[in-house]
Amino acid sequence: MTAPVSPETMTEAGRALAAESARFAGFGWMRGTGGNLSVVVQRDPLLLAVTASGLDKSELSERDVVLVDAAGRPADPSDPRPPSAEAGLHAHIAARTGARAVFHVHAIDSVIAGHRWPQGVDIRDLEMLKGIGHPAHDVTVRVPVIPNHQDMAVEAARFDEVYRDPVPGVPEVPALIVAGHGMYAWGDSVMAARRHLEITEWLLRYLVAVER
């Protein structure tokens, strides 16, 4: 049986994710095997290239991605490697938001923020909010927090409870904190997901430093 996506497409996705992974590992956000990254390689039906499970995320190669379906299950019968244990939440976020890249890291400030504000992290009056598409002033932006769970179907349902679709004049918040675990961010390209991840982490880092 042939894979539903070409090897070239998977290699290109793997190269992009390995570069992002090395970058985030360099920030200390993907210690050891922590964190996982994905890109959408086909929209309908949904297929994603996601980092393989259990690898040291500081030294991935272009081969270290696995094809998964909309439920996060392996979608290439010729590939025996397990996809990320969190592939199901990646796929759900991509399906729900329309994102083309979804990134998950264990940045310590996201874990502290989730511990301190389990109902959601409210942020306002910071210039960096513009980097996630929101006004710098006079609007409170909430980064939602959900409890941690090992079952990604549970996490997907919890995501749906807190996610607010964009409406005219109010963009989505392209990030999520999983309490006691880490954070997700997404976007319509690898660059957008990276920007949303790095800017949200900066906002959380600022908040945990100044709000006690």
Ligand X SMILES: CSC[C@@H](O)[C@@H](O)C(=O)COP(=O)(O)O
**In the complex, which residues of this chain contact ligand X (CB under 6 A)?**
32-36, 51, 53-54, 84-86
Nearer to ligand X, 54 or 98 (CB): 54
SS3 172: coil
In the complex, the smallest distance separating the C-beta of residue 188 from ligand X, rounded to whole angstroms, is 23
Q: How far apart are CA 160 and CA 162, in angstroms?
A: 6
Q: What is the dihedral of CA 128, 194, 52, 79, to 10 degrees?
A: 150
Nearer to ligand X, 82 or 135 (CB): 82
Q: b vs e for 69-90, b when ≥16 Cβ sit within 10 Å of the residue's Cβ? A: bbebebbbeeeeeebbebbbbb
106 labelled as ligand-binding? yes
Nearer to ligand X, 33 or 42 (CB): 33
- We find the least distance from the C-beta atom of residue 139 to ligand X, in angstroms, to be 32
Least separation in angstroms between residue 107's CB and ligand X is: 11
Residue ranges at the known binding site for Zn(2+): 104, 106
